[in-house]
Structure 1
Amino acid sequence: MEQSVSSKTKATLTLVLCFAIAVFEGFDLQSMGVAAPRMRAEFGLDNTQMAWAFSAAILGTLPGALLGGRFADKIGRKAVLLTSILIFGVMSVLTAYASDYTLLLIIRFLTGLGMGGALPMMITMASEAVSEKHKGIAVSIMYSGIPFGGMLTSFVAMGLAGDAQWRHIFYIGGFAPILLIPLLMKYLPESKDYLTATKNKTSTPFFEVLFAKERRFSTIQIWISFFFTLVVLYFLLNWLPLLMGAQGLGKTEANYVQIGYNIGGIFGSILMGTLLDKIRMSTVIKF
């Protein structure tokens, strides 16, 4: 069946499916921030406890990304992606059943483990699906699914009748990606680079890829810039609804602010991707 499908169709299908995964990851990523005011009241959490609840998933993304990258070279990008989706989907559902604060932290850490493993696979598969001159826009369109999913989280939150229904956010954010897995198993192609490497039985050592003399300094620079960018991003995603509430805005108004933030993220992501295909990457990063 794969041989009868044109390269263009396979590329489009890969981007659509990766975009859908990004939507669900973005939904779950912002679900804690949107549900935070309701969870805070129910669990009786202070600001320090809320900070740890927000940070647990973020801390999980680091080992998730590292483990996902290592296993992807052994069992394939697709297998790691499917496993990661299953993990963060199940853990999102279990967030709604957390009965105490400690259990909530553990579940959110494991949620981050799945999200951390999925994101690098989505970026890799989206970039490999298109030609070299379209990689930037392909990845940016896929990545725009994350703020799009965050926007959907706010719409779902506004549709909930009462504060006690905050758990429904996690039901939707968990079951939706799980239901997507059968479609991914059938229609998502395996990474071309992985198939080529497996066929030729070639593999470059992990540390040589990242820390070879000609790219060592670039790797460190990218890590540092990415770290601080994510710190700011996750701070806004998680704390924005609470900060808006502290300024006297109602829940609906706070959700509209969150929606506006995510709309800006969608346009910004696509704009940066377009620029990446037209001018030097270093110039775009500085911009």
Structure 2
Amino acid sequence: MTGGIMSATTSQTGSARIFFLIFLAAIIEGFDLQAAGVAAPKLAPVFGLTPAQMGLFFSSATFGLIFGAIAGGVVSDRFGRRFGLCASLLVFGIFSLATAGVSTVEQLIAMRFLTGVGLGGALPNLVSIAAEATSQERRGRAVSLMYAGVPLGGAVASIVAMAGLHDDWRTLFIAGGIMPMLLVLPLLLLLPPLRVEKKQSAKSEGTWRQLFSQGTVLSTLLLWTGFFFGIMVLYLLLNWLPTLLVTRGLNREQAGLIQLIFNIAGAAGSLLGGLFLDSRRKVLNGTICFALLVGSLILLGIAPANVAMNAIAGAMVGVSVMGAQALLYGIAPQCYGAAVRGTGVGIAVAVGRIGSVLGPLLAGGLVASGRSPTEVLMAIVPVALVGGIATVVLLSRLRGLPTATSVNGAAALAKN
């Protein structure tokens, strides 16, 4: 697999500039992803939302993420990473601002869906830029460093909730709309176009044929499986962990603190996942990461209603589940050549977003049937196991395959 937009000759200053900008974009993405959950207790009485309407409000953004991830990847490959990222930031910035001005439930759900489209489109571009801005040997940690910004942005949203700074729910969406739009101009001024120069052979072969060629079809299916089950676990926890902890006997402030610890530990886990991926023992490291995830889920499931015990278990789950995500996001761009990398990553992320819809629904169904917090958490252990097996097999497979080289485009960065 050949082709790319950056090379190993990229200057340290250029790489640092790129990573600073995309890290900021990832933080903003993480903030906007969790803004709805933070605002929900305040806006629900205003609109008189029923439980069903509240569920639709949450899931509308997730459905938007699915379509946005596919569209963002395609735009990235056709028009360049910079254009794709800026367009995505503008989309979710505009519709986040529009959310603050709605007056009906239908408008609220529609605006959240369109915000999700923009949020979904940003991530394939961020992953591709991070992977292509560094050498092959450091690609895993580069992607994980960028991705660490997402849980940090979520932690910022949690701090806003704990500090009571969102008395007017609209301020969250106004902030979530202004921040990405302010970042667009620096991205346009400080990043090169980051376009992919496709070879004629790649053009004639076609995108879908490249994604499902004899050499890539198994990697694609394993990647999809890892993303689907991994993100299913992650979003179940993001949506239901506070509720499960309160049901267990903790108060809301204690549950909020554990959720904050979960997010901060997740940022550390993301960095750890990148180091694992760049190690020579990546298969063993991946196995350790998912073993820790399974073990910490069991620990969280059996923990008594004790703040310290649940905080420790929550931190362990945060480290391992986000470390697993970092592994997957780091692996994804290595599965494809540069000409189809954005599309390949975007579709994989979209498949994962389907899991993010089903995860909360699974937990909701279990809770509605009278299952205890322990039973809900134990129920996702097999889900984590399946995702872990697929990821470890993919790591083993990629270890024996030639890696994609990063060529072309050095002149574009040198001029900036």
TM-score, structure 2 as length reference: 0.62
List per-residue Cα deviations over 1:88-127 (Å, max 9, x = no partner): 1111122222222221211111111111111000000011
Matched residue type, 1:279: R
Q: How does 1:71-220 map to 2 (within 5 A)?
A: 71-160=75-164, 163=167, 165-191=168-194, 194-197=195-198, 203=203, 204-220=205-221
Separation in structure 1 between the aligned mates of residue 235 and residue 32 of structure 2, nearest angstrom:
12
CA distance in 1 between partners of 2:136 and 2:219 (Å): 21
Q: How many residue pairs get matched?
A: 279
Match of 1:279 in 2: 280
1:49–1:197 Cα change, 3 Å: same
**Structure showing greater Rg:** 2
1:247 positional shift: 5.7
Q: 1:157 touches 1:166 (CA, 8 Å); kept in 2? A: no
Change (3 A) 1:280 1:108: farther
Aligned pairs (5 A) from 1:19-38: 19-38=23-42
1:14 corresponds to which of 14, 18, 26? 18
TM-score, with normalisation over the residues of structure 1?
0.88
1:230 aligns with 2:231: yes
1:231-261 CA distance string (max 9 Å, x none): 2222322344455555665554443222111
Q: 1:157 deviation in Å?
A: 2.4
Q: CA deviation at 1:9?
A: 0.8
SS in 2 for 1:98: coil
2:147 maps to a residue whose letter is Y
The answer to whether the aligner puts 1:46 opposite 2:50 as a matched pair is yes
Q: Structure 2: 5+ residue runs without aligned partners?
A: 1-8, 291-416
Identify the residue that residue 270 of structure 2 maps to in structure 1: 269
| Contact in 1 for aligned 2:10/2:133 (Cα 8 Å) | no
Q: CA deviation at 1:18?
A: 0.6
1:254/1:6 Cα in 2 relative to 1: closer, same or farther (>3 Å)? same
Paired with 2:26 and 2:260, the residues of 1 have a C-alpha distance of 17
Aligned-partner Cα distance in 1 for 2:160–2:18: 27
Structure 1, unpaired ranges of 5+: none
After superposition, the Cα gap between the structure-2 partners of 1:248 and 1:173, relative to the gap in structure 1 and judged at 3 Å, is: farther
User: Residue 279 of structure 2 aligns to a residue in which SS?
Assistant: coil
Identity value in percent:
42
Cα contact 1:151–1:262 (8 A) shared by 2: yes
- The aligned amino acid for 2:171 is H
Q: Distance in 1 between matches of 2:265 and 2:237?
A: 13
